[in-house]
Amino acid sequence: MCGILGISGRRDISAQLLDGLAAIQHRGQDAAGIVTFNRTFHLRKGLGLVAEVFRDGNLDGLAGSVGLAHVRYATTGSGDVLDAQPIVVDYPFGLAMVHNGNVINFAHLRRHLYEDHHRLVDTSNDVALILYTFASKLETKDLKHLSIDDVFDCVTATQDEVEGAYSAVTIIANHGLLAFCDPHGIRPLVMGRQVTDVGVSWAFASETTCFDHLDFEMVRDLQPGEAVFIDRDQRVHSRICRRRQQAYCVFEYIYFAREDAVMNGRLVASERVRLGKRLGATFRATGLQPDIVIDVPTSAYFFASALAEELGVPYRRGLAKNRHVGRSFITPGAQRREAMVHKKLNPIRDIIRGRKVAVVDDSIVRGTTARLLVELLRKAGATEVYVVSAAPPIKHPCIYGIDMSARGEIIAAHNDIEDVKRYLGADAVVYQRLEDLKDLYRDLPCCYACFSGEYPTGATAEALAEIEAEKVSSRR
């Protein structure tokens, strides 16, 4: 999962790109980058947080009124700076691209690009595969007279070849800014607008949080398979290029998006309250009665406070968080993650001591965070610890860009709820029921593949094994 932003403005936009990137930092902390275009591309990217990569605050080299920005969370590809985005190519047009998601037929695309187009994709980052595939489609057009229809036809042809989840924003040099989504619309992409004294600016981003910080108004979410093109005169063109059944990633509401983001007209904070309330009946059915409900800060706050309200017991902030340590879930490597949890969270003893504690997290993936938390809470004097997950049991790898691709790492893939409880050392484990989650989103077709194993793009056992192998080799 990554965060992307593209702006087609009227003046130099590098400062806006930088501010917008900071607003989606939570979507990726491995690398950050910005590219702008005036007569040529100007690119700066590096490993680390936005504030580290752009430490000097000097944006002088990034001139241009159109640009892209990216924060990276490594899924496929190494943590190498080569895999940081944006990426730029100069043939057949100057093209730059950022993307969020995961390509699943990478082996086929690599082979095809090499054998049929003599392009050696020398990075394992899948954005290169999308960009080169798109470039190979552009090559078939009359480049001097590229029309809007040509651009959209190239998107359709790209969507026909590239399988997986992707939301991408591209600069086509001297032509405009193009945004497009995969046919299922798995990854989010929103469009915003700003009216200035010199005309209208347009933006595309992973989350509306960028727009709030940049003072853009939200226009709409892009539809599955849609492409939107902003030409040099800032005119907007759109087409649904290749659409299939929508399968929006439900995990955006559970974990990834920031609470103040609005996705498909739904405020993420409100969605988390609904999810927390829905947990109430499931928790009551256990017959357990906690003295307090606490959250794993900060993404579980809304689940926990809503659950407490439903159960009629106090919500308490029972864990102190060191705000200067990154998010553990999006930190690659299990050992680094465990060390991070230790550094990040500490029980507040007077709140925990002598109490039966329900501790709510957004999900349980590997179980390492929950296990450590149970240990910490017991040490702090909890008499009983109930671990509550706002998500149903994750049983299958996400092949669309969330770092849980290796099935062996997913605790509920091989263990029933009793085994999970034993592993965590908890007195009870309560998950959201998948039926309840689906009921809450009955009017928004979502992807539930990590819970159900039903992949919207389809995925054979061989394909899953190939994706897992790629994942493991790219971690080395």
Q: Which amino acid is at 249?
A: C
CA-to-CA separations, 28 to 48, 134, 238, 256, 333, in angstroms, rounded: 9, 25, 29, 10, 15
Among the residue ranges 121-129, 339-347, 394-402, 416-424, the one whose residues contact ligand SF4 (CB under 6 A):
394-402
Supply the minimum distance, in Å, between the C-beta of residue 186 and ligand SF4: 5
Name the residue nearer to ligand SF4 (CB basis): 237 or 433.
433
Give the integer Cα–Cα distance in Å for 132 and 474: 20
154 is an active site residue:
no
| Residue 323, C-beta contacts closer than 8 angstroms, at least 6 positions apart | none
Residue of 323, 368, 376 lying closest to 348 (CA atoms): 376
Neighbours of 242 (CB within 10 A): 20
Supply the minimum distance, in Å, between the C-beta of residue 271 and ligand SF4: 14
Residue 307's Cα: distance from chain center in Å? 25
Q: Does 186 bind ligand SF4 (CB under 6 A)?
A: yes
The torsion angles phi and psi of 193, rounded to 5 degrees, stand at -145, 145
Which residue from 179, 214, 250, 293 is in contact with ligand SF4, where contact means CB under 6 A? 250
Name the residue nearer to ligand SF4 (CB basis): 147 or 452.
452
Residues touching ligand SF4: how many (CB under 6 A)? 11
Supply the minimum distance, in Å, between the C-beta of residue 249 and ligand SF4: 3
Q: Does 241 bind ligand SF4 (CB under 6 A)?
A: no
Supply the minimum distance, in Å, between the C-beta of residue 314 and ligand SF4: 32
Supply the minimum distance, in Å, between the C-beta of residue 80 and ligand SF4: 24
The torsion angles phi and psi of 462, rounded to 5 degrees, stand at -65, -45
Give the integer Cα–Cα distance in Å for 268 and 256: 10
Q: Does 257 bind ligand SF4 (CB under 6 A)?
A: no
Give the integer Cα–Cα distance in Å for 255 and 272: 9
| Residue 468, C-beta contacts closer than 8 angstroms, at least 6 positions apart | 397, 405, 406, 407
Among the residue ranges 128-136, 206-214, 246-254, 410-418, the one whose residues contact ligand SF4 (CB under 6 A):
246-254
Name the residue nearer to ligand SF4 (CB basis): 385 or 412.
412
Give the integer Cα–Cα distance in Å for 9 and 66: 6
Which residue from 251, 303, 329, 386 is in contact with ligand SF4, where contact means CB under 6 A? 251
Set 2, 154, 210, 398: catalytic member: 2
Q: Which positions from 433 to 472 touch ligand SF4 by CB under 6 A, shown as an x/- string? A: --------------xxxx----------------------
Q: Which amino acid is at 359?
A: V
| Residue 426, C-beta contacts closer than 8 angstroms, at least 6 positions apart | 370, 374, 385, 386, 387
Q: Does 402 bind ligand SF4 (CB under 6 A)?
A: yes
Residue of 249, 279, 281, 274 lying closest to 263 (CA atoms): 249
Supply the minimum distance, in Å, between the C-beta of residue 267 and ligand SF4: 19
**Partners of 6 in beta bridges:** 68, 204
Supply the minimum distance, in Å, between the C-beta of residue 400 and ligand SF4: 4
Q: Which positions from 217 to 236 touch ligand SF4 by CB under 6 A, shown as an x/- string? A: --------------------
Name the residue nearer to ligand SF4 (CB basis): 16 or 457.
457
Among the residue ranges 247-255, 274-282, 324-332, 374-382, the one whose residues contact ligand SF4 (CB under 6 A):
247-255
Q: Does 400 bind ligand SF4 (CB under 6 A)?
A: yes
Which helix (H) or strand (E) segment is 204 a member of? strand 199-205
Which residue from 71, 138, 190, 249 is in contact with ligand SF4, where contact means CB under 6 A? 249
Q: Which residues are catalytic?
A: 2
Using CB under 6 A, list all residues that contact ligand SF4.
186, 249-251, 398, 400, 402, 447-450
